[in-house]
Structures are given as structure tokens and as C-alpha cells.
Structure 1
Amino acid sequence: MTSPTRTELLRDSLGLLKDREETALRLLDSSARHSFDPDKELDWEAPFAPDKWFWPPELVSLYDTPLWRRMSEEQRMDLARHEAASLASLGIWFELILIQLLARHIYDKSLTSNHTRYALTEIADECRHSMMFARLINRAEVPSYPVSRLNHNLARVLKTVSTTPGSFACTLLGEEILDWMQRLTFPDERVQPLVRGVTRIHVIEEARHVRYAREELRRQMATAPRWEKQLTIISAGEAARVFSVAFVNPQVYTDVGLDRRQALAQVRASGHRREIMQTGARRLTDFLDDIGLMQGVGRTLWRSSGLLA
């Protein structure tokens, strides 16, 4: 097989640039039509309903475990409230990482391109989302739940050394599983109206972010050198392992009066929880498999995370 000529490489590069600009223009148009100001859109002063959940019970980590069956309904609902705060805290952590990765991605791009304009638009979206999640935590009168110091510092390393495709792969990991859960949450009438409103806004705006990341990751993987593809395979798998551990802060169990060690053991042994996490990740893992990111040690890491059967 002969190597591509300079003319062929230039033509392919121009084709990718045109495709990237067209995608960004469509997303900018969507942003103009479907963006929200959570401070004005949501009723933050309405009292919470005492008989409604802060998270669908089936999505609570201990659901259908022996411990869950022994808990009172009040304690189950309290755990759901704390887990909602834990997930909101995780969302803020991911969005702060994403903001920095996006800023790094466009640092060397054309300042006036549609692609750069959309990245800046997404950064603005993520700033609003982070403030919205923080306000929800405060309004629910529960603690924030930061990730462990180890995972906090692992993310610091990721932000420094991640390749461009690695950055977009990790972005999708942080967005798609939470997005799947939130799509189940916002239409669920058992859930508090404020939580439903927060998840609805996030789902609508994150749909654009996911498309931007997916299409850019596909482009990057089509042109990345072999070493970069291999590094991305490993880094995405390791990110999946970290994500699965950080998904719910174990402090939530202590804060609702449960034995943390017993709760963690039952979550790990729960077939229901494993199915929930794998179902939430399936659309992402199918996509990553399609573009060649689920090979070798990367697939092994994904399996060890519990997000892949």
C-alpha cells in the first residue's frame, strides 16, 4: 500500500475542517434556540414535597439489596437525597475538568472558527450547570461530596498529559452515564419538581455537548498516530475505573446512619446496581468500540470498572 500524497493529505484535512465547522454551526444554532438560565427557569423557593424523592429509587446505589430491604422508607428517601448531592458534586468536578480540557483544546485553534465559538459556548453552559448543581446541593440542605484526594489529583495529571482524543473520551465518560440516569429522572413524577427541572435543563444542553465530543473524537481517532491511539485506549480505560469508584461518595452511607463498610460491600455485590451501571454505559461503550477504543488492556480496564460486561 502506497503512502498518501501531500495533495491527498491536504484534501482530507480540508474535508475534516469543513465537517468540523458545519457541525459546530449546527450546534451553535441549537444553543441559540435551546439554552436556559437556571436561576430564572426554576422555582428555587418552592418547598420540597415530603412524599417525593430526590432521585429515582431504582437508581439509588443500595436499591434491592438486603440492607435496602431493612431500611425504613424515610431512610431510603434520605439516602436518595444524599446520593443526588453526591452526583451533583461529581458533576461539578467533571465539568471543571471539561472546562479546562476544552480551553486547552481550542488554545491553538482559529480564534474565529465556528468550532472555537461552540467550545466557548459549551464552556459557558458548563459554568451555568456547575452553579446550578451547587445551588441544588445547598437548597437540599445536604453536604457537598468531593471526590477522594487521590482521584482529585489523578484528574490533575489527566488534565496535564491527556491527548486530545483522550480528553474527548473522558468527556463522554463523564457525560453519558449521568445523562442516561437524568433522562430517567426528569419525567419521573415521583421525583421532586426542582430535581426534575435541573435534570431536564442538563439533559437538553448536554445533548449538544455529547454530539460535539463524539464527532470530534471520531475525527481525532481517524487521524491520530498509533502511539496516541494506544495512549487514549489506556487512559480511557483507566478513567472508567476511576469514575466507577468515584460515582457515589461512600460518606453518604455514614451520613444517613448506615455502616459504610457493609453498604459498600452490598453495592459491589448487587446485580441490580451492576446492571444499572452497565446499561447506563452501553451507548458509550458501543460507540468507543466502534471507533477502536475498546481493545487490549483498555477493554480489560473497562471490565474491571464494572461498566462493561
Structure 2
Amino acid sequence: QESPEGDDVARRLLGSAAQLAYDPAVEVDWETPLDKEFHGASPEWSSLYGTAYWGELTEAQRKELTRQEAASVASTGIWFEMILQQMVLRDIYMKNPAGAEFQWALTEIAEECRHSIMFARGAQKLGAPHYRPRRAVMELGRAFKTLAFGEAAYAAILVAEEVLDVMQRDWMRDERVVPFVRTINNIHVVEESRHMKFARDETLKRLEGAGWARRQINAFVVAVASYVIVTSMVNPEVYRKAGLDKKRALAAA
């Protein structure tokens, strides 16, 4: 259901996108070889940070681990951005293409496409393999992007975007992080702020008048989605790729 309020938000977001948008193909330094003196993410965000195992790692091992973890987070981001795009496309399928909500939704999808390519190239430059969530999680995602709608879809989108936003705000300001990753994070934070505004607005709008049972069902669905997203951020193979004892790392993480 389209609304004047929704169109007002969408118009503001379209104006913001027209004024401030990035092309990662030219904004990110893809040409300079990877400098392995840098971390891939703030070390405090590492899954092993603060553990006894972390204390045993050399500085080079810590840096390699954070690079692999950053690549894993990027790969999880691609996975969820593909889910997001399909849910948003389903949502606007019958809407008026002349409306601001329709046009904003396509603008958001265009930005997400650029983000996914940016994440893929970033992970490749970090020297990472193709990390992906577990097969069961991939199939859950397939079902969710097909069946989720309304506030459940938009609240799950908001959760995924908020989690990445918190991490990346730290990483983009951290001079220990390799510069091209900081640029990627900055681009994503700026543009995702618009996506979070839209998802938050859509969630609130669709919950208007919702009864207790509907709210409880949606709370459960979003809680499950949140758990799956957060626990899929770091692929267990990052430890092996970083040259660590995978079994010991998993026990410590």
C-alpha cells in the first residue's frame, strides 16, 4: 500500500542519492597491491580477539586473520544483499512506477548491486577464497527471500544493515585497516544510511494497527533471521586460510 508519507520519505532519499553517491569502480583503489602490513578489519572485531589463542598469534597472523574475516563478512553481505534485492523487487512489483517509493526502491537495488560487486572485488583483493554461509543457511535464505513480506522482510533487512553499519563505522576510522577497505566501508556506511532509513520507515508503517499475535510472530521470525545473519558472518574456513589450527580456533572463538 503506497502512502503520501512513504512517498515523502522516498523523495528525500532520492534527493540524497542524487547529491551523494559513489561509484566503487573509480572511488576504490583497486590497482595498488595489497599491503600486508595492514589489518583487514579492526583487530578488536576479530572473533579471536581477547582469547588465549589470540595472545599466541604473531602480528602477521593477526593481520592475516582480520583480512580473511573481513572478506568473510563481505561475502555474507553479498549473500544478504541478494536476498534484500529480491524481497524489495517483490514488494514493488505491483506499485506505480511513477511513484517515488517505486523509484527509490530501484535506486536502492542499484546501490546494492554496486555494493555486492565492491564486496566481491574487495574480498578478492584481500586474497580470500569464496566464502559462503553453510548450505542449510543458504537454503533458509532461499526460503526467506521467497516467503518473507511486509514488516518481517523490512525488519530483517534493517537488522542486517545495522550489524554491518556498526562494524564498518569502526573499521573506516581505524588507521590500522588497509586503506582500500576503509574506502569500501565509508561508501557502504554512507549509502546504507539511506537504506536503513527506508527499511525503518517501512517496518513502522506496516506495523501500524498490527495486533499482538502478528507482532509476536514477526518478532520470532526476525529474531531467527538475526541469529542466522550474525552467526554467518565469520566462516570457519577463515582460520585454516589464515594458517591457524581450525579446531582450536573454533573452540576459542
Question: Which category of TM-score, normalised to the shorter sequence, fits these structures?
Answer: over 0.9
- Equivalenced residues, count: 253
How far has the Cα of 1:101 moved from its partner?
0.6
The amino acid across from 2:105 in the alignment is: A
Structure 1: distance between partners of 2:147 and 2:155: 14
How far has the Cα of 1:227 moved from its partner?
4.7
How far has the Cα of 1:226 moved from its partner?
5.0
Asked whether the equivalents of residues 7 and 100 of structure 2 are also in contact (C-alpha less than 8 Å), the reply is yes
Alignment match of 2:22 (pick from 36, 44, 47)? 36
Are positions 1:222 and 2:208 aligned together? Answer: yes
- Equivalent runs, 1:6-85 vs 2, <5 Å: 17-85=3-71
Cα displacement string for residues 236-257 of structure 1 (whole angstroms, at most 9, x for unaligned residues): 0111221232121011112222
Q: Which residue of 1 aligns with 2:184?
A: 198
Structure 1: distance between partners of 2:170 and 2:33: 23
Asked whether the equivalents of residues 75 and 132 of structure 2 are also in contact (C-alpha less than 8 Å), the reply is yes
How far has the Cα of 1:109 moved from its partner?
1.9
TM-score (norm 2): 0.96
Q: Which residue of 2 aligns with 1:186?
A: 172
How far has the Cα of 1:225 moved from its partner?
5.1
Relative to structure 1, the CA distance from residue 226 to residue 109 in structure 2 (aligned partners, 3 Å threshold; closer, same or farther) is farther
Are positions 1:234 and 2:235 aligned together? Answer: no
User: For the pair shown, which has the larger CA radius of gyration, 1 or 2?
Assistant: 1
Three-state SS of the structure 1 residue aligned to 2:82 is helix
How far has the Cα of 1:191 moved from its partner?
1.0
How far has the Cα of 1:214 moved from its partner?
0.4
Q: Which residue of 2 aligns with 1:140?
A: 126
Cα displacement string for residues 254-279 of structure 1 (whole angstroms, at most 9, x for unaligned residues): 22222323222222xxxxxxxxxxxx
Structure 1: distance between partners of 2:95 and 2:24: 31
Are positions 1:125 and 2:121 aligned together? Answer: no
* Structure 2 runs not aligned, ≥5 long: none
Asked whether the equivalents of residues 76 and 132 of structure 2 are also in contact (C-alpha less than 8 Å), the reply is yes
Alignment match of 2:163 (pick from 177, 191, 201)? 177
Are positions 1:103 and 2:89 aligned together? Answer: yes
Q: Which residue of 1 aligns with 2:80?
A: 94
Deviates more, 1:185-194 or 1:24-33: 185-194
Structure 1: distance between partners of 2:187 and 2:193: 10
Identity %: 42
Asked whether the equivalents of residues 53 and 190 of structure 1 are also in contact (C-alpha less than 8 Å), the reply is yes
How far has the Cα of 1:65 moved from its partner?
0.4
TM-score (norm 1): 0.79
C-alpha RMSD of matched pairs (Å): 1.4
Asked whether the equivalents of residues 65 and 239 of structure 2 are also in contact (C-alpha less than 8 Å), the reply is yes
How far has the Cα of 1:180 moved from its partner?
0.6
Three-state SS of the structure 2 residue aligned to 1:111 is coil
Structure 2: distance between partners of 1:225 and 1:34: 39
Three-state SS of the structure 1 residue aligned to 2:96 is coil
Asked whether the equivalents of residues 68 and 238 of structure 2 are also in contact (C-alpha less than 8 Å), the reply is yes
Structure 2: distance between partners of 1:155 and 1:228: 22
Three-state SS of the structure 1 residue aligned to 2:129 is coil
Structure 1: distance between partners of 2:142 and 2:76: 15
